[in-house]
Chains A and B, each alone.
Chain A
Amino acid sequence: MTRFLIRRAGTLMLTALALTFIVFYLTNMDARLETLAKTQGSARMSDAEVTSWLARNGYDRPLLERYGEWLGVVPGWVDTDAGGAMRGRCVALVDTAADAPRFCGIAQGYWGHSTRFNEAVGTVIATRLGATGWLMLWVMIVMVPSALTVGVLAGMREGSRTDRVLSTGAIVTTATPEYVSGVIFIAVFASSTVGLSPLLREWGWLDSPVLFQGNARSAMDQITVWNFTLPVMTIALYGMGYIARMTRASMAEVMTRQYIRTARLKGASFASIVLKHALRNALIAPFTVIMLQFPWLLNGVVIVEVLFSYPGFGWTLVEAAGNNDIELLLACAVVAVVVVLLTQLISDIGYVWLNPRIRIG
């Protein structure tokens, strides 16, 4: 087990290194840096001014050297400007230039400076991830129990009417990407001129102008049913169908097993067969699927946060990408790869833990 974990940790490090280098390379291409200089300086810079801006801010040195600086294995750049004051990557971190450390990169715990938000990347990521965490938490609370219920109900009597209705519903939700369901939800629930809200107001069932809010920014201060229902529903719906289908398949398979027949023959009630004999065995496969669903949710989170203007991790990623905020993007990539690989690891370990027939060396 320890060897397995060490090997996995090694893969994670290697993947993260390769991935961040690719992001670093793609964000540091000449045309991108020029765009960055123009957004940070002024839009009407001449080519010479762009070159000097890049030189002044340390972007003119070789790519590998700067990647090393970001990692914290190469000393940060230092320079003296026209007035004789020291400037440099690490100098901006401390009050007096002389105290500046030689190395400042992620190895030292410094994630860089966000040009878009003008804040330390670590702070930006931490607050945004916190916001996304709340969203994910509610998505999980809504999605997992309902998906499992649907899957178990559909799978316990394969081919029945309930099964067909629920399975079709599951297929429909997997065919509805977040940007489609989000748009439909907003049109139906969050519009004061069309959809349900005007109807409900006419009947006098609704006091507020809309049933649910189509903008989740206020959820940063306080999460309410009013502002959080639609984003949570939008993400949960897409993932739900997939988990439900997996649960159904797994449940249907378990229901054909010998021990279920034995339980039936000894006269156990159907409810007790489903709950006591089938359920636990049927949940092994969906567990893996739920864990592997996390990276997928990340995608949905980006779309939903942009659609509902909820400033979480996904929204930050899009802002960083749109403004070529190099260090913030790198941090986002690291977070994403860690999420993906950790969930893979947890799903593998959980699979073994739930299913004693499998052993890893």
Chain B
Amino acid sequence: MIEDLTWGGIAVGVAARLLPVWAAMAVIFAVSIVARRRLGLYGKLFDSKVGMIGFGIVLFWVLTALFADLIVTHDALSQISRMRNVAPGTALPSPDGRYPHYLLGGDSLARDVFSRMVMGAREVLKIAPAATLFAFMIGITLGLPAGYFGGRLDTGLTFLANLVLAFPVILLFYLLVTPEIVQAGIPTAMAAVLFLMPIVFLTLLLNARYFMQPVRRAVYIGAVMVVGLWMYAGLAFNADPLGVWGMSPNLLNVFVAVVFVNTPTVFRIVRGLTLDIQSRDYVAAAQTRGEGSWYIMLWEILPNARGPLIVDFCLRIGYTTILLGTLGFFGLGVSPESPDWGSTINDGRRLLTVYPHAALVPALSLMSLVLGLNLLADGLREESLRD
């Protein structure tokens, strides 16, 4: 019979399991600090304490998600009898070569809380940054022309954006993230429109840049088209001929809903920045030179709006993480078994007053990741304002 662990033992056990993460973090930090003068904005991050702490926390979770397979002590979905709701550090009744303890206790279905937390990091970090990136590409593609051209296009798009923003997020999720909606094919239709935007964005970007170099332009745009449409077929329609890209219908539904909720805010930010930058002299100079509208928008205005956009990108990943958690909290997540943090908090809250560890562990994980992203955004803002 193996002894249960004390709190000190648990801390040592968890730290030991996370060894790959510590090692990778040490290497990345050492290299970055040494080479920080040559790394631009990223390097400057290491001059600010807040930015460094934020980056550290985010890096911790990214590496945890990356090395999740090495870190987990048990399978995140399998149950071990007699381990239901056990306290952190409880020893397994019969280890048989498995890891001998439930480091952070067991949940109401006798699964290992620690392993679920680690796999949950992977679930969250698989969706949140990608969804944010999509929202940004769509928001930029629509926000630039709305701000630059103004007029009817602007009025129409702004009305649509305000319409989505007036929707209570939770009502929208309840209406959009359900099996009935998946059956009706609405997520696929929305994905068909939304996922086309990044391809449009990249094509416009390259077309404007290499307009005078037809050969290069053809090569770059051709490459974007081939890769983009390949991913598009896989992600939006689950019809990738090679089977590399694909999303389950539920995942697609969640992804589309989150992108849809985030896009209007990005649109408003980009539109506001465009309106501001448009009156600068270098835009007038480009117009006098006879540059095309899209060249001015994408290669004159956008690069000069990057500071606020990068900061907002960090904040928005955190916000998306909170949204994903909200979805899970209302039981609208990817699947009921999924170890993502929101769903785990939802599972754990029923027995919260008796066995709080099952809900507290994912809750604190989510909080720390969002906190890290907020601190990182703060550090970036400070450093980008400095020059």
- Let me know if A139 is at the binding interface, CB within 8 A: no
Q: Is the CB of B175 within 8 A of A26?
A: yes
Closest to A171 in B: B374
Q: Main SS of the interface on chain A?
A: helix
Q: Is the CB of B374 within 8 A of A174?
A: yes
Q: Is the CB of A171 within 8 A of B371?
A: yes
Note all chain A residues with C-beta closer than 8 A to B162.
11, 15
Q: Is the CB of A171 within 8 A of B168?
A: no
- Let me know if B23 is at the binding interface, CB within 8 A: no
A307-B180 contact, Cβ under 8 Å, with A19-B166, A23-B175, A299-B170: no
Note all chain A residues with C-beta closer than 8 A to B326.
177, 179, 299, 303
- Let me know if B100 is at the binding interface, CB within 8 A: no
- Let me know if A284 is at the binding interface, CB within 8 A: no
Closest to A338 in B: B166
* Distance A284 CA – B385 CA, assembled complex (angstroms): 24
- Let me know if A291 is at the binding interface, CB within 8 A: no
Q: What's the tally of chain B residues with a CB closer than 8 Å to chain A?
A: 44
A interface bracket (residues with beta carbon within 8 Å of B): 35 or more
User: Of A298, A332, A333, A340, which is within 8 A of B165 by CB?
Assistant: A340
A177-B322 contact, Cβ under 8 Å, with A186-B352, A318-B330, A329-B171: yes
Note all chain A residues with C-beta closer than 8 A to B91.
none
- Let me know if B167 is at the binding interface, CB within 8 A: yes
Q: Main SS of the interface on chain B?
A: helix
- Let me know if B213 is at the binding interface, CB within 8 A: no
* Distance A193 CA – B329 CA, assembled complex (angstroms): 24
- Let me know if B353 is at the binding interface, CB within 8 A: yes
- Let me know if A187 is at the binding interface, CB within 8 A: yes
* Distance A190 CA – B162 CA, assembled complex (angstroms): 40
- Let me know if B375 is at the binding interface, CB within 8 A: yes
Note all chain B residues with C-beta closer than 8 A to A175.
318, 367, 370-371, 373-374
- Which one, B3-11, B119-127, B242-250, B355-363, is touching chain A? B355-363
* Distance A314 CA – B330 CA, assembled complex (angstroms): 12
- A170 → chain B, closest Cβ, in Å? 10
Q: Is the CB of A29 within 8 A of B363?
A: no
Closest to A314 in B: B170
- Let me know if A43 is at the binding interface, CB within 8 A: no
Q: Is the CB of A302 within 8 A of B163?
A: no
User: Of B163, B168, B353, B366, which is within 8 A of A180 by CB?
Assistant: B366
Note all chain B residues with C-beta closer than 8 A to A18.
163
Q: Is the CB of B175 within 8 A of A336?
A: no
- Let me know if A176 is at the binding interface, CB within 8 A: yes
Q: Is the CB of B378 within 8 A of A171?
A: yes
Q: Is the CB of B180 within 8 A of A32?
A: yes
- Could you give 22 example pairs across A and B, Cβ below 8 Å? A11-B159, A15-B163, A18-B163, A27-B175, A31-B180, A171-B378, A174-B374, A183-B349, A183-B359, A186-B356, A187-B359, A191-B352, A191-B354, A214-B353, A295-B166, A295-B168, A302-B170, A307-B349, A317-B170, A317-B171, A333-B168, A336-B168
